[in-house]
């Protein structure tokens, strides 16, 4: 099932197009990851889908409605986004920061209701941050802060959560902690998760659906088997990768790779399709 999709989306800054004629569907109640080299348009696409930036042409549709015409508060009840570098929470306690997620649900003067406090406590409990409720956000470790920001997104009570590189600056243990939390939210609460990841093996391990971008266009979209393979990685990252199997998940994983130097790979590259279905065709 697809509730959210883009149709011939063009996004740019000034006269420079970053994302070009992009049409893709996001599978509902699944984890989708977007991969690609730096500057390929991953974050730009995420920002346009969540209406942080405007697109030049095309459309983003959610439940059949163009999000550019949607009321801001109504849209904020449907989708939440955790940017790559969240705004500073200097001086705020964990509980205060998470309470900001209740903004779309507040009326009048914006005073928190009993329901708001219940949702805030639930979000803290689910993310394992309840013990930090009265601590300053600045006093937490990187992994703890990231979980608090996720708690704030959860407090919005949206069905779709977008995250732009949620594991950036975290060590391996904290990266795994955050990704396992997102996987738990998806499996137990059926939240649709859409995130940008740099690590190919993390993308393969946790994603149900992967979108591979290059120069603002989709090279391939599909499940891990469709995307994590030598041909796709050669085109997207210009590398010669050895693909094996994760012994714990049996999903494909990149074991090692070499840069392709001085080799013209364009003749072997696949032509991106104008529209990608959920089968990646």
Q: How far apart are CA 233 and CA 219, in angstroms?
A: 10
Q: What is the mean pLDDT of the chain?
A: 90
* Domain end point (choices 157, 178, 207): 157
pLDDT digits (tens, 9 = 90+) for 114-155: 999 999 999 999 889 999 999 999 999 888 888 899 999 999
Q: In terms of domains, do 167 and 143 share one?
A: no
Q: How far apart are CA 62 and CA 6, in angstroms?
A: 9
Looking at 123-137, 170-184, 257-271, which range is the least confident one?
A: 257-271
Q: In terms of domains, do 151 and 167 share one?
A: no
* Domain end point (choices 111, 126, 157): 157
Residue 280 has a pLDDT of 41
Looking at 27-41, 156-170, 192-206, 211-225, which range is the least confident one?
A: 156-170
In this prediction the pTM is: 0.87
Q: Assess if residue 276 is contained within a domain.
A: no
Q: How far apart are CA 101 and CA 38, in angstroms?
A: 30
pLDDT digits (tens, 9 = 90+) for 204-214: 999 999 999 99
Residue 273 has a pLDDT of 45
pLDDT band at 15 (very low <50, low <70, confident <90, very high): confident
Q: How far is CA 81 from the centre of its chain?
A: 8
Q: In terms of domains, do 186 and 63 share one?
A: yes
Looking at 38-52, 80-94, 162-176, which range is the least confident one?
A: 80-94
Q: Assess if residue 1 is contained within a domain.
A: yes
Q: In terms of domains, do 164 and 44 share one?
A: yes
Q: Assess if residue 23 is contained within a domain.
A: yes
CATH code (residue 188): 3.40.50.300
Looking at 104-108, 196-200, 204-208, which range is the least confident one?
A: 104-108
Q: Give the burial string for 37-60 (b: 16+ CB within 10 Å, else e).
A: eeebbbbbbbbbbbbebebeebbb
Q: How far apart are CA 23 and CA 9, in angstroms?
A: 6
Q: How far apart are CA 90 and CA 228, in angstroms?
A: 40
Q: In terms of domains, do 140 and 204 share one?
A: no
Domain that holds residue 102: 87-157
Task: Output DSSP code: residue 162.
Answer: E
pLDDT band at 109 (very low <50, low <70, confident <90, very high): low
Q: Assess if residue 261 is contained within a domain.
A: yes
Q: How far apart are CA 251 and CA 201, in angstroms?
A: 9
Q: In terms of domains, do 14 and 96 share one?
A: no
Q: In terms of domains, do 42 and 169 share one?
A: yes
Q: In terms of domains, do 121 and 193 share one?
A: no
Q: Assess if residue 110 is contained within a domain.
A: yes
Is 212 or 277 the better-scoring residue by pLDDT?
212
Residue 79 has a pLDDT of 94
* Domain end point (choices 157, 176, 209): 157
How many domains are contained in the chain?
A: 2
Residue 95 · residue 124 · CB < 8 Å: yes
Q: Which two tokens stand for residue 11?
A: 């996004």
Q: In terms of domains, do 106 and 21 share one?
A: no
**Has residue 219 got a pLDDT over 60?**
yes
Q: In terms of domains, do 131 and 66 share one?
A: no
Sheet holding 57-62, edge to edge: 65-66, 57-62, 2-13, 16-27, 275-276
Q: Assess if residue 275 is contained within a domain.
A: no
Residue 108 has a pLDDT of 66
**Has residue 265 got a pLDDT over 70?**
no
Q: In terms of domains, do 36 and 109 share one?
A: no
Q: How far apart are CA 62 and CA 25, in angstroms?
A: 10
pLDDT band at 60 (very low <50, low <70, confident <90, very high): very high
Q: Assess if residue 271 is contained within a domain.
A: no
Helix axes 114-126, 142-155, angle to 10 degrees: 140
Q: Assess if residue 278 is contained within a domain.
A: no
Q: In terms of domains, do 177 and 227 share one?
A: yes
């Amino acid at each position: 099932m697809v509730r959210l999709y883009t149709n011939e989306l063009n996004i740019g800054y000034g006269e420079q197009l970053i994302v070009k004629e992009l049409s893709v569907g996001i599978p509902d109640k699944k984890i989708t990851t977007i991969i690609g080299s730096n500057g390929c348009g991953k974050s730009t696409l995420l920002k346009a889908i969540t209406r942080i930036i405007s697109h030049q042409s095309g459309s983003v549709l959610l439940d059949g409605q163009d999000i550019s015409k949607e009321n801001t508060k109504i849209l904020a009840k449907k989708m939440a986004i955790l940017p790559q570098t969240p705004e500073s929470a200097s001086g705020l306690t964990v509980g205060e920061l998470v309470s900001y997620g209740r903004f779309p649900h507040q009326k009048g003067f914006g005073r928190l209701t009993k329901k708001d406090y219940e949702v805030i406590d639930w979000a803290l409990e689910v993310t394992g941050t309840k013990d930090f409720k009265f601590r300053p956000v600045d006093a937490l470790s990187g992994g703890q802060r990231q979980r608090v920001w996720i708690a704030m997104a959860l407090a919005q009570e949206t069905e779709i959560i977008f995250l732009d590189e949620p594991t950036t600056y975290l060590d391996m243990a904290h990266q795994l902690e955050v990704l396992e939390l997102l996987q738990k939210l998806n499996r137990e609460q059926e939240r649709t998760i859409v995130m940008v990841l740099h690590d190919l093996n993390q993308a393969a391990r946790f994603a149900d659906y992967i979108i591979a971008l290059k120069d603002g266009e989709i090279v391939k979209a599909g499940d891990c088997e469709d995307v994590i393979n030598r041909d796709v990685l050669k085109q997207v990252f210009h590398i010669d990768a050895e693909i094996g199997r994760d012994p714990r998940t049996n999903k494909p994983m990149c074991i090692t790779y070499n840069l392709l130097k001085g080799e013209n790979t364009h003749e072997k590259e696949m032509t991106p399709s104008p529209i990608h279905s959920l089968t990646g065709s």
